[in-house]
Amino acid sequence: MSQPTAPPAREYDEYNGAPALVEVGRAVFGEDYRGQKSSVWPADLVAMTRRAGLDTSGHFLDAGCGSGWASAVLSEQIGCTGEAWDVSASNAALAHDLLAPAGRVTARQRDFHNTDGYEHAFGLVLSIGAVYWSDDPTRLARSWAALLRPGGAVLVFLSQLVDDDGAPIALAGTSPTAAACDWPATFAAAGLDVEVSDQTSRFVLWLDRWTTELDARRDAVERELGTDGWAEFRGRFDALHLAAADGRLVRTALIGRAAAQVSGGAGR
């Protein structure tokens, strides 16, 4: 079961190297910017992580870690240790460069569906903006439940949007199965006790700021992505703005808690 089921997210390999987009991130997140490719504000991450029950003695997995920014925040602000996995070699390398100096989080190039050797290893499985690439949400939820220690939790930040007819929209390169997934039901079916918080207004705040800063750097970004690349990339943000304005976009933070004790038999 060690073969990746999700394709490496090539766009992140490409965009990670675009200096003009790094400038956009710096403008939006200020001193909190550490290469994040998602819309989650660090303060919201810390608040939700505490709500999920991770404390100083905790050990977490950052699943689909990108640059490793969230792992850095958790290890510094909560004081815990962890691992950061990304299927992309370049992202795993970025995360290693960010996290290795402090020695609290180990970065690996690894598919997050793969539980081999890590059963019941983590008090928290965190995932920010990464479940969109899974072709097999049921396997993902079962895998992450299997990674948890008794009493542990998953914390998943995700956005979902639908078109005018209510049909799910999968953004470029992502999995239609993930876009259509009922994630709370899928994590509940994996045995977790699920709580969902609506974070749409925080997403819209990010979207507004990001688009403003992106447009302010249009010439530089277009030079780096090319005219077609710019049009395709910018078009995604138009689609998100429209969906948010119409109430067709929902950002949630999902917490799925495992039972405090491993069940000894069938039933509850």
Q: Which is nearer to ligand SAM, 31 or 165 (CB)?
A: 31
| CB count in 10 Å sphere of residue 183 | 20
CA-wise closest residue to 61 among 31, 33, 39, 82: 82
CA distance 163 to 161: 7
| Binding residue (CB under 6 A) for ligand SAM from 25, 28, 29, 38 | 38
The pattern of x and - marking residues 9 through 28 that bind ligand SAM according to CB under 6 A reads: x--x----------------
Q: Which is nearer to ligand SAM, 197 or 259 (CB)?
A: 197
| Binding residue (CB under 6 A) for ligand SAM from 72, 94, 98, 130 | 130
Residues 100-129 contacting ligand SAM, CB under 6 A = 111-113, 128-129
Q: Report in angstroms how near the CB of residue 174 gets to ligand SAM at its nearest.
A: 9
Residues 212-241 contacting ligand SAM, CB under 6 A = none
Strands 105-109 and 81-86: parallel
Q: Which is nearer to ligand SAM, 114 or 197 (CB)?
A: 114
Q: Binding segment for ligand SAM among 34-42, 142-150, 182-190, 231-239 (CB under 6 A)?
A: 34-42
Give alpha helix (H) positions in the chain.
10-16, 19-29, 42-52, 69-77, 89-99, 137-147, 176-179, 183-189, 200-216, 218-245
Burial class (CB in 10 A: 0-12, 13-18, 19+), 104: middle
Tell whether residue 178 is a contact of ligand SAM (CB under 6 A). Answer: no
CA distance 228 to 135: 27
Residues 70-89 contacting ligand SAM, CB under 6 A = 70, 85-88
Q: In whole angstroms, what separates CA 263 from the centre of its chain?
A: 30
Strands 59-63 and 122-128: parallel
Q: Which is nearer to ligand SAM, 133 or 210 (CB)?
A: 133
Residue 106, both tokens:
């180990």
CA-wise closest residue to 172 among 234, 95, 89, 104: 234
Q: Which is nearer to ligand SAM, 78 or 87 (CB)?
A: 87
Q: Binding segment for ligand SAM among 1-9, 211-219, 233-241, 242-250 (CB under 6 A)?
A: 1-9
Tell me which residues touch ligand SAM (CB under 6 A): 4, 6, 9, 12, 36-38, 64-67, 69-70, 85-88, 91, 111-113, 128-130, 133
